[in-house]
Amino acid sequence: MSAIISVQNLNKIYESGFQALNDVSLDIRRGEIFALLGPNGAGKTTMISIICGIVNPSSGLVTADGHDIIDDFRAARSKIGLVPQELCTDGFESVISTVNFSRGLFGRPPNKAYIEKILRQLSLWEKRDARIMTLSGGMKRRVMIAKALSHEPEILFLDEPTAGVDVELRRDMWDMVRDLRKRGVTIILTTHYIEEAEEMADRIGVISRGKLILVEEKDALMEKLGQKQLRLQLQKPLLELPEELKSYPLSLTHNGLELIYHFDTTGDQTGIADLFQRLNEHGIDYKDIQSKQRSLEEIFVSLVTERATPATEAAE
């Protein structure tokens, strides 16, 4: 699949001397949903802001649909819709006039039918004449999306699209994002809700301290890093693991009532049969067994914490 956004060796050093992006290279494929994950301050917004022409890069090359974001700024920017983290609209304006105005900013001629379509899709049509200040937080967020889509962009950036919204609206937004993707829009989202990435993304990128540390298909990532856990509820509490079992990937919960065995489904053998045999030999009885896949959240936390080891810090 061809790249709709190409980022090559991107660096950003702010005036303060702080390096927010460190040699980031990334291709976003046409038509995909790409989730950019990273802890606070990792550089996600900086990267989006550079691609959208809001922040200047210190070095590197970025193109959007083949247009250089600096030399060919207008053409590049016209391909992109941005829903920023903060709600920024004029509260006194009506929904429809603010969305029409956004379209005009991109030099697009008015298109009543298109604007009606997006307002309907976002359940804003009934509210089209309402002043934005009178809308709920969730509705205001929808207005931000309508503004970002007003000029018919092929690429949509969603910076923390569901921060602070309720569960119902979050589900609605997920449906809407999938729907946009079906119609060929490429979507790049940043999120702190790993569940959101797990639910929606085709690919995941993880950024930590300005470096892109991983880019993977979500399913492959889940498969590769998604170790499974086997949890055994014991009949009687166990004070300590028997010596022979200490070398096994086993842990015991505080109350001694649960044994957790970590295993890798991609390996030739899981070792479960052997484990059961050993438990039997040691007279450790269990009354229930559950198996659980490691979630993307757990994978993400371990990736980012591995990066934050003292050795890494010392190197920076």
Ligand X SMILES: Nc1ncnc2c1ncn2[C@@H]1O[C@H](COP(=O)(O)OP(=O)(O)OP(=O)(O)O)[C@@H](O)[C@H]1O
Which residues make up the interface to ligand X (CB under 6 A)?
14, 16, 18, 20, 38, 40-46
Q: How far is the CB of 74 from ligand X (least distance, A)?
A: 24
- Whole-number minimum distance, CB 46 to ligand X, in Å? 3
Please say which residue, 45 or 162, places its beta carbon nearer to ligand X.
45
State the minimum distance, in angstroms, from the CB of residue 212 to ligand X. 12
At 10, the amino acid letter reads L
Of 40 and 255, the one with the shorter C-beta distance to ligand X is 40
Q: Among 54, 43, 52, 39, which residue's Cα sits nearest to residue 12?
A: 43
Helices (H), the chain: 44-51, 73-78, 95-105, 112-121, 137-149, 167-182, 194-200, 218-225, 272-281, 296-307, 310-315
* Nearest to 233, CA basis, from 188, 194, 279: 279
Nearer CB in complex with ligand X: 41/137:
41
Which residue lies nearer to ligand X by CB, 45 or 150? 45
Q: Between 9 and 121, name the residue whose CB sits nearer to ligand X.
A: 9
Least Å from the CB of residue 206 to ligand X: 11
Query: Which two three-digit tokens encode residue 248?
Result: 């096994």
CB of 38 to ligand X, least distance (A): 5
Contact, 275 vs 232, CB < 8 A?
A: no
H helices then E strands: how many in the chain?
11, 14
